[in-house]
Amino acid sequence: MQQSDREDFRAIVIEACRHVLPQCDLPIANDPQQLEALVERSEQLAAFIGFSADALRGSVIMLVPLELVRLSYPLPLKSGIEGHLELFDWCGEIVNRLLGRIKAGLAVRGVEVEPSTPKTMLGEQLQFMITEPSNVCALRFDCRASRLAVVVDAVSSSEDVLFRAPDGALTSQPEGALLFL
């Protein structure tokens, strides 16, 4: 992927995090830190979602302490295993919305991606390798008294610059607005 595309992509991801995560009751600090490597010892949920386009494919990974997901859950949480499953589901929905926002940002630049469906896993001492050259960004945000991470990887099958200048005609429908067809 060309450096200019990588920089644009990173900016799209940061904007998406700033927009989507507070909406999902994950009030992140505005400025992310660069993540060099990641080993979290506490119980974490890791949500993954993939995407593909004509000349681009990759994934968005969000790693969040279980307690942060619990605090952000928008409905009364059931007890026991049912409650755990609800947290898994909610974490997947958050990463799905994150990719939705990223997708809108890419579409404005002429790149139409197709998302997969999200998967979530629970673990302790989860470790992610941050690998060049596929890594677009690896961000750590402070959130409440804790922190979460968003890692985006992408590879391009083309040597060309993929991203065009933003085109207002390709702007997505605003969130929440009702459109009758």
Footprint on this chain of another protein (rule: CB under 8 A): 23, 73-75, 85-86, 89-90, 92-93, 96-97, 99-101, 103-104, 107, 112, 115, 117, 170, 172-181
**In sequence order, what are the beta bridge partners of 3?**
none
CB of 125 to another protein, least distance (A): 27
**Residue whose entry in the numeric block shows the structure tokens 């507070």:** 22
Give the residue with the Cβ less far from another protein, 145 or 177: 177
Q: Which is nearer to another protein, 35 or 68 (CB)?
A: 68
Quote the least distance from Cβ 178 to another protein, whole Å.
Answer: 5
User: Cα(48)–Cα(61) distance, rounded to whole angstroms?
Assistant: 5
Element (H, E) at 34: strand 33-34
Bridge partners (DSSP) listed for residue 112:
none
Residue closer to another protein by CB (options 27, 100) is 100
**Smallest separation, CB 39 to another protein (Å):** 29
Phi, psi dihedral angles at 65 (to 5 degrees): -55, 140
Q: Give min distance, CB of 65 to another protein, in A.
A: 18
Termini Cα distance of the chain:
38
CB 39 within 8 A of CB 107: no
For another protein, the closer of residues 38 and 83 by Cβ is: 83
